[in-house]
Amino acid sequence: MKQTSPFQLSSILSGHDSDIKAVRGPNEDLVISASRDKTVRSWFRIGANSFTESKLYLGHTSFVNSLVFLNPTAEYTKGLVVSGSSDKTINVFDLENAQNPIYSLIGHSDNVCALDVTPSGYIVSGSWDKTTKIWKNWQEACTLEGHSHAVWAVLAVDDDLIFTGSADKTIIKWQNEKRVQTLSGHTDCVRALALLPDIGFVSCGNDSTLRIWTLDGECIQELNEHTSFVYSIDVLPTGEIISSGEDRSVRVWKDGECIQTILHPATSVWCVSAMPNGDIISGASDGVIRIFTRAEERIAEQPVLKDFDEQVSNHAIPANQLGDLKKDELPGSEALLQPGKKEGQVIMVRVHEKVEAHQWSQADQVWHKVGDVVDAVGQGRKQLYNGKEYDYLFDVDVGDGVPPLKLPYNVSDNPYKAAQEFILANELPQSYLDQIVNFITKNAQGASLSTSSQYVDPFTGSSRYTPSASSNAQNTFTTSIDPWTRPGTSSNTHPEKPKIIPQKTYLTFRQANVEGILKKIGQINEVLLMNKETQNIALTANELSTLKKLGQFLQNPLTKTRSLSDHQSEFDIIRKIITQWPFNNRFPGIDLLRLQILYTPIPAKHVDNDGSIINLITKFAGITTWPKDRAPDKDQDTNAMLGLRALSNLFSIKEGRDILGHEVSKILELLSSTWDKNSNKNTRVARTTVFLNFAVLCQTSSNENEDNILQIIAILAELFKSEIDSEVIYRALITLGTLVNQNQAAKDATLVFDIKNILKIMSTKVKEDRINQAINEIIF
């Protein structure tokens, strides 16, 4: 399959005076932005890779944090711009008339940080006042109350179906203005939600993760590559997910994998949005809007690209974002000769007297310098301020339009003494004392690049803090509501992590570009029809029409009903593709089978001359002929990967579990240890997911076969010795933990295969929190 081209810089839009908090691209020639400078602006395309500022929309008296665009109507022929602000109001502007808002919606009692619009044009807003409001005809129609903390995200799927995400770590599903379901999974504030066609929606949060959900509330996948808070998400026309966050990156996700990381020369990338033409808009803490594209004709000129790369390369990374670096223990530039393990991997290298950060690009197969590490506490280096050396020198924001003040601090100092001296030196209210002490205590502890323990202010960014202007600020930390955590607690109080072992639900592969699958089938079918030797296996017009109806169902399975005869007809056509088309052309058929399995028992009940559905998948996807002594070619790898995903999806229905339970020995025999070194990442993830689902099945099966359990553990023992991909390792660990949790024979087998020592060695090499948590739950 053709490799997707990477995104490159297309345009830079400068004009705002402060952080960009929201961006939208209603069409390929229009960009709308909102900023902490209290303004909203529109930008129109004037060239393939250039935009110019068109309108300036005024009316807010504080930061503008959210945006949504209402499509043109007969009354407003160019559309409407809707903005939400920390001044508690929502303003509605005519796109063409920037003088004053035509409507101001008043009703929230705190920052309006989230906006969306329903298909009928109703506005949905979320606020720090813990409520969601629906506005019809420019009037408040209803208020949804259910969250215990700030509502950071709203998603209007339909006029009567809304999802909201909150700092209370939950997502609530609202149907006809009533709370019908609460979704849990995130371990920190939920920051954004986005509709994911054909599947459901995606969420992101301060726990550094993205989660994919069905509309009925099932979390079907967790994405882990960001190294700090994830602020914003959207979905490209291709179905790929884009995200941005505090790790100053925009990331592109496809099939559950991060395929590109775009670093920015800024502390935070607050927002990201997809344009209809497939381009990406980002807004960052440096007040700059950037557009990235895959289209060659829209890529920026070479000098602009070079300047952007240099800005990223020269960006200073505060050492207190990276923990206590030991410069003498860092590798030299020779480490850059070794390839990275995954897209976006960051390493620190010592170059003469400097420490540089470099990031691995899978697309380019090279390390790119992404910044210089400065002021590294722990290297014996101090920061000079007013003639004295300090361990830390923090920026403190005291108000709009006022430059940040410098707060110096040594780890040996009394935090109260340092805070009091700072207040006196800058003539600040005494009521700020407790807040500043808490800020010092929290931020002087160091932070890891891979965690979100470092303080991040919701408006200003990393290591910056905005004290409350309240006259009662002295009691802020005991009485106020912190929208990041919970009432009456400071942000460095973290609840105990929930157990992740044992796994109790089956993992499935639901995400798909159905339209793309059908298009590929049509293209291959045309080629078959043109060749006399293959005309007899090509699909007829009626068969293509039947698959089109299947595609319509798969794109909206929750609202469409299908008869068993419909499913049978569709399965027969899919089986024709899988069994009769050339091996290198059958992959879209296997992919369709993988999806159909989720919604009907017809495939699971299949029996013919080729045997059961297990035989159909393993034989015609090439799993039975997987090469033992060489790497597979691309067609073998692709078909096998899709076949393994189909096997994983069989666990989701009873009929599938029944047949899998009978044929587990055969499947395990096929999935031998040679897969570890011969297949690509996606194939290895799918293979490990089959093992994980078998482990879940063992918890409920009355015919538990200890030989099968021991065989899985033997395979996992070999996998742990050579696997380098974190997602494969994580799923393998959950598999092992689930088996050991409920089976004594499995526990005994870990001694035979020396699993404990293998995992201890792994824990010293792998730094991901989720992997170390799984290891700890298994060993201790």
User: What percent of the chain stands above pLDDT 70?
Assistant: 81
630 vs 58, residue with greater confidence = 58
Whether 188 maps to a domain, the answer reads no
Q: Using one digit for the tens of pLDDT, what is the confidence trace for 554-563? A: 877 755 567 8
Mean pLDDT of 20-29: 95
Per-residue pLDDT at 721: 83
User: Is pLDDT of 35 > 60?
Assistant: yes
What is the count of structural domains for the chain?
2
User: Is pLDDT of 18 > 80?
Assistant: yes
Question: Which residue type, as a one-letter code, is found at position 575?
Answer: R
Confidence of residue 328 (pLDDT cuts 50, 70, 90): low
360 and 397 both lie in a single domain = no
SS3 590: helix
Whether 67 maps to a domain, the answer reads no
Per-residue pLDDT at 458: 29
Confidence of residue 325 (pLDDT cuts 50, 70, 90): low
* 319 secondary structure, DSSP code: G
Q: Where are any strands of DSSP class E within 575-619?
A: 607-608, 611-612
420 and 444 both lie in a single domain = yes
User: Is pLDDT of 484 > 60?
Assistant: no
Domain extent, residue 413, equals: 383-479
User: Is pLDDT of 213 > 50?
Assistant: yes
Q: Give Cα separations from 620 to 324, 543, 605, 640, 670 (angstroms).
A: 53, 21, 17, 9, 14
For the question of whether the overall pTM of this predicted structure is more than 0.85, the answer is no
Whether 486 maps to a domain, the answer reads no
402 and 362 both lie in a single domain = no
C-alpha–C-alpha distance, residues 191 and 456, integer Å: 14
Per-residue pLDDT at 186: 94
331 and 359 both lie in a single domain = yes
Within 10 angstroms of residue 529's Cβ, the number of other Cβ atoms is: 13
623 vs 338, residue with greater confidence = 623
- Conformation bin of residue 422: beta by default, left when phi > 0, alpha when psi is -120 to 50: alpha
Q: Give Cα separations from 311 to 288, 320, 613 (angstroms).
A: 13, 21, 55
Q: Using one digit for the tens of pLDDT, what is the confidence trace for 712-758? A: 888 888 888 888 888 888 899 999 989 888 778 788 878 888 888 88
DSSP letter for each residue of 130-193 = SEEEEEETTEEEEEEE--SS-EEEEEEEETTEEEEEETTS-EEEEETTEEEEEE---SS-EEEE
SS3 23: strand
User: Is pLDDT of 542 > 70?
Assistant: yes
Domain boundary, last residue among 479, 508, 542: 479
496 vs 593, residue with greater confidence = 593
Q: Using one digit for the tens of pLDDT, what is the confidence trace for 197-207? A: 989 999 999 88
488 vs 60, residue with greater confidence = 60
Whether 451 maps to a domain, the answer reads yes
User: Is pLDDT of 769 > 50?
Assistant: yes
301 vs 481, residue with greater confidence = 301
User: Is pLDDT of 379 > 60?
Assistant: no
Per-residue pLDDT at 252: 96
Per-residue pLDDT at 489: 33
Burial class (CB in 10 A: 0-12, 13-18, 19+), 531: exposed
Domain boundary, last residue among 426, 452, 479: 479
Per-residue pLDDT at 326: 59
User: Is pLDDT of 319 > 90?
Assistant: no
CB 349 within 8 A of CB 333: yes
- Conformation bin of residue 436: beta by default, left when phi > 0, alpha when psi is -120 to 50: alpha
User: Is pLDDT of 381 > 90?
Assistant: no
- Of 75-84, 106-115, 421-430, 667-676, give the lowest mean pLDDT range: 421-430
347 vs 411, residue with greater confidence = 347
Confidence of residue 467 (pLDDT cuts 50, 70, 90): very low
Per-residue pLDDT at 472: 33
Whether 312 maps to a domain, the answer reads no
Where helices occur in 315-359 by DSSP H, the ranges are none
397 and 458 both lie in a single domain = yes
CATH of the domain at 466: 3.10.20.870
User: What percent of the chain stands above pLDDT 90?
Assistant: 45
Mean pLDDT for all residues in the chain: 82
User: Is pLDDT of 343 > 70?
Assistant: yes
Whether 595 maps to a domain, the answer reads no
Per-residue pLDDT at 288: 95
Domain boundary, last residue among 420, 444, 479: 479
352 and 411 both lie in a single domain = no
398 and 428 both lie in a single domain = yes
C-alpha–C-alpha distance, residues 751 and 231, integer Å: 44
Confidence of residue 436 (pLDDT cuts 50, 70, 90): confident
370 and 418 both lie in a single domain = no
Per-residue pLDDT at 353: 66
- Of 136-145, 388-397, 486-495, 687-696, give the lowest mean pLDDT range: 486-495
393 and 369 both lie in a single domain = no
